[in-house]
Amino acid sequence: MWLIPAVIVVLVLLLVHAGSRGPAARTLTYSDFVHDVTANDISSAVITSTGLVTGKLHSGTAYTSQLPTALGDTTLSSLLLEHHVQVTGTNPSTTSILSIVVDLLPLLLIVGAVVWFVRRSRKQSPGGIGGIMSIGRSKAKVYDEERPTTRFTDIAGYEGSKAEVMEVVDFLKHPQRYARAGAIGPKGVLMVGPPGTGKTLLARAVAGEAGVPFFALSGSSFVEMFVGVGASRVRGLFVDARKRSPSIIFIDEIDAIGGRRGPGGFGSNDEREQTLNQLLSDMDGFEPGASVVVMAATNRAEILDTALLRPGRFDRTVEIPLPNLSERAAILSIHGRGKEFGPTVDIGAIARGTPGFSGADLANLVNEAAINAVRGHHHILRGADFDAARDRLLIGRRDASNALLPEETHNVAVHEAGHALVAALSEHADPVAKVTILPRGATLGVTEQLPEVERHLYPQSYLTDSLAVRLGGRAAEILVLGEPSTGASNDLAGATDLATRMVREWGFSSELGPIGYGPEGPSRDNPFAGRPYAEETQRSIDQEVARLLRQAESRATTLLQGHRHLLDRVVDLLVERETIDGSDLMALVSLPEPRASAPEDSAGARRSVAPAGRLG
């Protein structure tokens, strides 16, 4: 903080130095100087060896002049003595100390500013790490004596993943047990999974469980605009880790620096490529006995460089998928700690109603339920709060200003009733959980389906039923209103995408046969690939997709025509209540009037691949 006072002192010295010079001196030519001497106007004269003359007139005014030394005038001295001028000789090299200091002040200020910035950067980052003098140093945060409080007991589910990671921690804690069996510990562990599944949380648990130093940083911490800085940081990180061996290095989002080199990768980005090369070199260059394990996390494993994934670098790949039903229930229980649940809250039912949710999504769900409870002026979380939170996350916020016209309300009710009734009448469709015609976000109505069991494989009958359910709203509009509307646009897009994958990827076409062409566009194996089949094949695919969609719409229309009285009852109930539960729908379907079984077609039966998805 001494820089500002120093600047003030410098300004004062400059003012004092300028003021010490007094008023501006009068400049006389040599002729004027001789004339004033002859006129007895000169009082004193100080003459240097270079002919510079300074002095004062009898009036007290200062003057300066310059003698023409080249003329060799020898009469000036006698003229000065004749007119009683006090003459003094001096050396022109004599300079005051104050003048020297003032001349050097700008340089001193620059040096002082540099010293101040360096000291300030060291205070902000102990040990000299950071600041302009340490741009190439590692930015890793070190957990040594003080480690995160997260433990494996704080992570629900993922028992297999935790066992693999915990084995790494055990190797670092007890290397002699593995050495006796001749086992060599892994050098690298790569955690792969969708966003929000808890990869970073698992790494924090490792840091909490491990009795060794833990270096944590993000992949983007290596990337700088200066070429070579990232590589320097990698070297520094591994040097620090080896000094504290045994230790763990955790790199989050490693795809920021570990992407493929060359075509389809970083291309000519020298900085990232040099950083990756340095990382590869350091992971291979551990000294014997240096127990350093590199852990990394990514949700884009398909773009990582193959040299990074080979054994000897990342020996293990730990898959962290989306949680299953039991894991979701356990995760909800963990995030419910410290919150009071009402008797209507069923954790198992909430877990069943959240398929496809990640751990982060479930944490957000519990938080939204708590916010909804506060909005309702109570602190105990109820089942209705979780229902409102799930609707908010899946289909958006309820917008009261987005009111529908009476005619539009009836049309939306017809559309959603078509979806719901086709799902209820289809043999392989998941049960309907709720139907609503209350506008939320960009949707005017929603039909939600929840699976009875978690599926890992989807049979053809399941998928063809899904096509019929998705087109049930459009079929109901044509049947009741006489014409379709724009409300079926999302249904058509989803049904077309599903039918395309059924034909092109899963071989569900008798015309094309058991051939999987894979998705269009670049892939991991061929980053420059376009469409992997001919134009004639594309024409056949389009024809098969159109056939599946026409069959699905015909199937939905047949179901609705055979149960027109049920369709009208569901529409009336939706217009009356705006929202009905699946139990209300099934009560209507089970009324007298036998349930017609859907005719089987060559493709099988019906249901959507997206449980609890938005249909309508």
Residues annotated catalytic, as ranges: 416
Strand, helix or coil for residue 217: strand
Which of 534, 529, 509, 508 has its CA nearest to residue 519?
529
Q: How far apart are the C-alpha atoms of 326 and 496, rounded to whole Å?
A: 33
Q: Parallel, antiparallel, or unpaired: how do β-strands 432-436 and 446-449 relate? A: antiparallel
The 3-state DSSP composition of the chain as helix, strand, coil percent (nearest 5) reads: 50, 15, 40
What's the half-sphere exposure (Cβ side, CA atoms, 13 Å) at 487? 31
Residues 6+ apart with CB under 8 A from 612: 353, 354, 355, 356, 394, 433, 448, 449, 450, 451
Q: DSSP class of residue 93?
A: T
Q: How far apart are the C-alpha atoms of 409 and 444, rounded to whole Å?
A: 9
Contact 257, 308 (CB under 8 A): no
Q: How far apart are the C-alpha atoms of 235 and 229, rounded to whole Å?
A: 10
Element (H, E) at 215: strand 214-218
Cis omega before residue 195 (within 30°)?
no
Write out the two tokens for 200: 């970073």
> What residues does 229 pair with on adjacent strands?
none
- Judged on CB neighbours under 10 Å (0-12, 13-18, 19+), 322 is middle
Sign of the CA dihedral with 32 first, then 37, 43, and 49 last = positive
Contact 278, 230 (CB under 8 A): yes
Strand, helix or coil for residue 34: helix
Contact 26, 63 (CB under 8 A): yes
Q: Parallel, antiparallel, or unpaired: how do β-strands 86-90 and 141-143 relate? A: unpaired
In Å, how far are 113, 181, 319 from 131, measured between CA atoms? 14, 47, 38
Count CB atoms within 10 A of the CB of residue 417: 32
Strand, helix or coil for residue 294: strand
What's the half-sphere exposure (Cβ side, CA atoms, 13 Å) at 416? 34
Q: Which residues of 348-380 are buried (b: 16+ CB within 10 A; e: fewer)?
A: ebbbbbbbebbbebbbbbbebbbebbeeeeeee
Strand, helix or coil for residue 36: helix
Q: What residue has token string 């940081």?
A: 233
What's the half-sphere exposure (Cβ side, CA atoms, 13 Å) at 611? 20
